[in-house]
Amino acid sequence: MTTTTAAPTTADARTPHQVWLRVRGLLLAALVLVVAGVAFAAVRSGGQHGRLDPRSADPYGSRAVAELLEDRGVSVDVVTTLDEATGAIGPDTTLLVAGPNVLTAHQQHRLHAATATSAGRTVLIAPAGTSVPRLAPGVRQASHRPVTARPPRCVLPAARAAGASDLGGIHYATSEPGATACYQDDELAPLLVLPGRRGADTVLLGSPDLLYNNRLDQQGNASLGLQLLGSHPHLLWYLPSLDDPSAAEGGTGTDNGAGSGDDEAGGESDFIGLIPSGWLWGTAQLALAAVLAAIWRARRLGPLVTERLPVAIRASESTEGRARLYRKADARDRAASALRSATRTRISPLLGVSPRDAHSPAILLPAVASRLSTSGGDPGALLFGPAPADDAALVLLTDQLDALEREVRTS
């Protein structure tokens, strides 16, 4: 009858239950962090729509000025496509273009053709690069300067009534007759009003700062914003969208000629600016949590130290554990060195060599050679040779050391 015996378990063979007990705390913490991050991102992104959006209560949104306009009887409608914008403009409408630099060249030409035939007002927020000659012919982009409180220095009634306001960003210059330049700095203006046909006009605003929620209550920003946007009973707030079907028409890409001035003026063409800030905050917090979890798990940040074991363990278990560590680290050199050192220590008393000289080739090897009855091997390469190249060579070295020790003992 054959008796089947179970394979002995070792210290590193953990059961699934033991593995679960070990990692459940970390998994639970990771789950809590993920849920909290997603929930926080969802809460942060709720009701937020990006920069210069009349629905956004963010510091860089424009919900405050939109609500003030509605309180004054001005209807505010948000549109995101060129067809919606051009289809709704009329003599009693103000069209605000929040991101003219996002539009393609074809869209800019279409927009200018549509606004040139309407009798309303068109407000362009920080046009730059090639957007300027396409949307406001005869105007050139002059420079980019910081946004600060500036006096009006012009005859425009809206500017004179508002007084000092936060203007700056992109400055413009023109030689068009009838144009009004306000808040000038060395003959360059961050606010330029161009007259059009049948009472229409075009307003170029060098920076959107005065329309932001966090700046509306400063200086004369609220007064200037309400007068520029509330001159007609209807306000179309055009937020250009990258998925607008009209962007594929004309075979041209978006206008990238704005340069650094456009990025500083509001970053409409910046991809990061299109991501809701709540999701950015959520992603940053999850990344920070992952780094902290990694630091927490990496407890051994310094060199290993020896400790007295709390209990006595069998020598066979200690040897087996150390062997597994050597194998896991692929440290054949360390294993071979330990085997050779132990063999030299055991045979040195048999050869009359002191323990201090047991690891000296010049003293040990002559003593070994005098006791060996055969010359089939090289005791020098066996006791002091190089590290084995693979596991098979390590096993062979072990057998040869055992044979050498037996021969020394029996001679």
In the structure, what pLDDT confidence band is assigned to residue 236 with cuts at 50, 70 and 90?
very high
Does residue 236 contact residue 96 with C-beta atoms inside 8 Å? yes
With H, G, I as helix, E, B as strand and everything else as coil, classify residue 42.
Answer: helix
| Residue among 247, 213, 220 nearest 66 (CA) | 213
In the structure, what pLDDT confidence band is assigned to residue 64 with cuts at 50, 70 and 90?
very high
Q: If you search the block for the tokens 């200037």, which residue do you land on?
A: 224
Mean pLDDT of 171-175: 91
Per residue in 90-121, pLDDT tens? 889 999 999 899 899 999 999 999 988 887 89
Q: Which two tokens stand for residue 131?
A: 């957007």
Mean pLDDT of 179-201: 88
pLDDT at 308: 77
Mean pLDDT of 2-29: 63
Q: pTM (2 decimals)?
A: 0.54
Does residue 198 contact residue 172 with C-beta atoms inside 8 Å? no
The upper half-sphere exposure of residue 60, i.e. CA atoms within 13 Å in the direction of its Cβ, equals 14
Q: What is the DSSP string of 131-197?
A: HHHHHSTTEEEEEEEEEEEE---S--HHHHHH-SEEEEEEEEEE--TT-EEES-BTTBBSEEEEE-G
How far is it, in rounded angstroms, from Cα 78 to Cα 255? 23
Mean pLDDT of 13-34: 78
In the structure, what pLDDT confidence band is assigned to residue 167 with cuts at 50, 70 and 90?
very high
The upper half-sphere exposure of residue 43, i.e. CA atoms within 13 Å in the direction of its Cβ, equals 6
- pLDDT, averaged across the chain: 82
Range of weakest confidence among 213-227, 306-320, 350-364: 306-320
pLDDT at 181: 92
How far is it, in rounded angstroms, from Cα 367 to Cα 116? 108
Mean pLDDT of 17-30: 80
Mean pLDDT of 168-188: 89
